Structures are given as structure tokens and as C-alpha cells.
């Protein structure tokens, strides 16, 4: 028997730790994720497929892959967050990146440093990518013009929350496969909801029919019922506005409740929480009118007992925890595609 050369390892190589992320992200050309309004169906599918591969990494005994070794990611959060911030932090770490958190409190933002100066500082320290949440709509677009790194919008004002929309699409695709013709009801504070705005773009691009339900004060003026109401709000043929949740929910495949954003309402627009709950809360009785296979979603954090009944939030129909779990895989996918793509 020929002796094994001493240089040859008897320990098998571990390609599974690297694959499928050892190569650059083929076919991905976007540098930033600012919103999903210009995403094609193919691009959304690529994110969701990549997230599926990331979910496989997460299922491994050692859930780590060195796809972003040597990359520095800053989480720059001017507004509170639990899900988005923690999942982006974990996503970066699982992919082997260095992740640094900067928030309003405890940083020089507290001393009055401007957004642009903070961005320039982060860039000078060596940020390859900045995950950014800011109260001002459009702030990530300013960042993308200001510094050279990749910018990921983790929620800007009342405008967009693209990773929430993508994780919602991931959960819906897991549930239903192709979303063409699926009836999705989004109910609640549409006026202040960046989640609703981004979901409208992604869900309609994927072929779903979206029904928006809200009391009139919580609808954007462009969507409020009236003489000037366009036949298709936002120019999108598969979006409609319905004043009555009991009408809208009949036969729905998925019902997404939005949080009443008390911090943005400041006591205005919604004089009575009890009246709101009576007309717009997702209850078991209302869900009985949806399709038998219907699921309930909520981006969180929830006001249980206001926009969603406690028993519904924790029922077998609820996919609220699945949404949080999907957030990790989807954010890993976004970091990988943007940073290892060709742009």
C-alpha cells in the first residue's frame, strides 16, 4: 500500500461552508437597495431565491459562511428598531462581515452632528455598506449620493421599507408559491406606513391583487374616496381601496395588519382607539370570512388588542414569527447580492 503523502489532508475540504456563496452574485447589478418600486419580477425572485439559499445556511449546525469576510457594515439607526436592526447585525456576522452599530443615542448625532457629516465619518472609517434607518423620507437617497459605499434603506420616514416588503414576499411565496391573482388585504395606518408603500410595489409586481383598508384620516389624500378618486390608485390596476374591512376581507388569501403609529399620530387623526379597533381590528370572526387557507401577517411591533386581536396574533393562521425569521435570510441575501454583485 502506498503511503499517503504527508501534505495531503485526511480531513475533507468543507466546500459546503462556502457554497453557494463563494462566487460573486451572478446577474445582480444594483449597488443600493433604496426601495423596491423599480424592481422587476426577476430581481425580486433573485432576492427570494438567494434568501432561500441563505435559509439553508441558517439550518446548518454551524450557521456561518465567509461570503463577506473582510467587509465592514455600519448599521446607522436614527429611529428605534428591534427586528430590522438585530437581523441586519446578525446577517452581517453570519456572512463573516464586521458589523458596527451607530444609533442616535450614544453617538455624536446626540451632539448635533449632521447626517452628511456622520455619513462622511463612517465612510472615512471604512464602511463598505451602510444599513440606514432615518425619520426623514429620502435620507437613504441622500446617503447614496454622498458616500461611496452600498446603501440599504432600513426604513425612511413614511416612505419605504424595502427589506420588510421583500421578507413579506418571501413568506407569501413560501405559503402560496406564485402570487399571481392572490388577494392580499393591507389594513391600518396606510398614511404613515412605509411598510404598506413598499409592499404595494413588490406585491403588485409579483402579480397579487392588493386591497388597502383604512379609516379616511389614515389614508393618503391621493387614495381617499371622493370625486377625484382614480379608478386605479397609484396608477396600478391591481390596487383598490376599500373603506369596509368586512367587505374587503371576504375570500382574502392574506391579511396584513399595520401598526397604529402612535408616535407619528400624536393623538391626532384617530380620536378613539376603541372605535378604530371595532371597525378595523383583525379578529377571528373577521378571519372566518377570508379564504380557508388565509394567513395573517403584521410587520411588528404589534399593538395587540388594537389593530390585531391577541388570539389571532398567536393563532395557527399567524405568520408573524415566520416574518421575523424570514427577515434574517432576506437581509443576508440583500447584503450578499449588493456587496458581491457586479455593481
Closest distance of CB 216 from ligand CP, Å: 25
**For residue 169, what are the CA distances in angstroms to 156, 190, 256, 321, 326?**
20, 18, 12, 14, 10
Q: For ligand CP, which is the closer residue by CB, 81 or 283?
A: 81
Question: SS3 of 251, please?
Answer: coil
Closest distance of CB 16 from ligand CP, Å: 31
CA torsion sign for 106, 78, 69, 324 is positive
Q: For ligand CP, which is the closer residue by CB, 81 or 121?
A: 81
Residue with cell 387623526: 269
**For residue 86, what are the CA distances in angstroms to 80, 134, 193, 209?**
11, 16, 21, 31
Closest distance of CB 33 from ligand CP, Å: 14
Residue 226 has, within 13 A of its CA and on its CB side, a CA count of 8
Closest distance of CB 187 from ligand CP, Å: 16
Residue 75: which residues within 8 A CB-CB, separation 6 or more?
85, 88, 89, 99, 100, 101, 102, 131, 154
Q: For ligand CP, which is the closer residue by CB, 240 or 264?
A: 264
Q: For ligand CP, which is the closer residue by CB, 85 or 340?
A: 85
Residue with cell 462566487: 23
Closest distance of CB 81 from ligand CP, Å: 3
Closest distance of CB 251 from ligand CP, Å: 27
Closest distance of CB 332 from ligand CP, Å: 16
Beginning with the edge strand found earlier in the chain, give each strand of the sheet holding 254-257 in spatial order.
Answer: 239-242, 209-213, 183-187, 254-257, 295-297
Query: Is 188:308 a contact under the CB 8 Å cutoff?
Result: no
Residues that bind ligand CP (CB under 6 A): 81-85, 155, 164, 299-301
Residue 144 has, within 13 A of its CA and on its CB side, a CA count of 14
Q: For ligand CP, which is the closer residue by CB, 146 or 303?
A: 303
Q: For ligand CP, which is the closer residue by CB, 159 or 340?
A: 159
Q: For ligand CP, which is the closer residue by CB, 82 or 342?
A: 82
C-alpha cell at 129: 455598506
Q: For ligand CP, which is the closer residue by CB, 17 or 136?
A: 136
Q: For ligand CP, which is the closer residue by CB, 165 or 241?
A: 165
Instruction: Say how far apart CA 266 and CA 290 lie, in whole Å.
Output: 33
Closest distance of CB 87 from ligand CP, Å: 8
Helical H runs in 106-228? Answer: 115-125, 139-146, 162-176, 194-205
**For residue 71, what are the CA distances in angstroms to 15, 156, 337, 339?**
21, 24, 13, 8
Closest distance of CB 165 from ligand CP, Å: 11
Instruction: Say how far apart CA 91 and CA 328 lie, in whole Å.
Output: 6
**For residue 168, what are the CA distances in angstroms to 140, 179, 251, 300?**
21, 12, 20, 12
Amino acid at each position: 500500500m502506498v503511503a499517503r503523502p504527508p501534505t495531503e489532508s485526511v480531513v475533507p475540504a468543507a466546500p459546503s461552508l462556502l457554497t453557494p456563496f463563494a462566487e460573486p452574485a451572478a446577474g445582480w447589478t444594483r449597488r443600493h437597495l433604496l426601495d423596491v418600486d423599480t424592481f422587476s419580477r426577476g430581481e425580486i425572485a433573485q432576492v427570494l431565491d438567494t434568501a432561500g439559499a441563505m435559509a439553508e445556511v441558517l439550518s446548518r449546525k454551524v450557521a456561518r459562511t465567509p461570503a463577506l469576510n473582510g467587509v465592514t457594515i455600519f448599521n446607522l439607526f436614527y429611529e428605534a428598531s428591534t427586528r430590522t436592526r438585530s437581523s441586519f447585525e446578525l446577517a452581517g456576522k453570519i456572512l463573516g462581515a464586521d458589523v458596527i452599530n451607530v444609533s442616535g443615542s450614544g453617538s455624536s448625532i446626540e451632539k448635533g452632528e449632521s447626517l452628511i457629516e456622520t455619513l462622511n465619518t463612517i465612510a472615512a472609517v471604512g464602511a463598505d455598506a451602510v444599513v440606514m434607518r432615518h425619520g426623514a423620507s429620502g435620507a437613504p437617497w441622500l446617503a447614496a449620493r454622498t458616500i461611496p459605499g452600498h446603501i440599504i434603506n432600513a426604513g425612511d420616514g413614511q416612505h419605504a421599507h424595502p427589506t420588510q416588503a421583500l421578507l413579506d414576499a418571501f413568506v407569501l411565496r413560501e405559503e402560496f408559491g406564485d402570487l399571481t391573482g392572490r388577494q392580499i388585504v393591507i389594513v391600518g395606518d396606510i398614511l404613515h406606513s412605509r411598510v404598506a408603500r413598499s409592499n404595494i410595489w413588490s406585491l403588485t409586481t409579483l402579480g397579487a391583487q392588493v386591497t388597502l383598508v383604512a379609516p379616511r384620516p389614515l389614508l393618503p389624500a391621493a387614495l381617499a374616496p371622493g370625486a377625484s378618486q382614480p379608478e386605479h390608485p397609484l396608477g396600478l390596476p391591481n390596487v383598490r381601496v376599500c373603506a369596509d374591512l368586512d367587505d374587503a376581507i371576504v375570500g382574502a388569501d392574506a391579511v396584513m395588519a399595520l401598526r397604529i403609529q402612535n408616535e407619528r399620530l400624536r393623538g391626532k387623526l384617530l380620536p378613539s382607539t376603541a372605535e378604530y379597533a371595532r371597525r378595523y381590528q383583525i379578529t377571528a370572526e373577521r378571519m372566518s370570512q377570508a379564504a380557508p387557507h388565509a394567513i395573517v401577517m403584521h410587520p411588528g411591533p404589534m399593538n395587540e388588542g388594537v389593530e390585531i386581536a391577541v388570539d389571532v396574533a398567536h393563532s395557527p393562521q399567524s405568520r408573524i414569527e415566520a416574518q421575523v425569521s424570514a427577515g434574517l435570510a432576506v437581509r443576508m441575501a440583500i447584503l450578499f447580492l449588493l456587496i458581491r454583485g457586479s455593481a
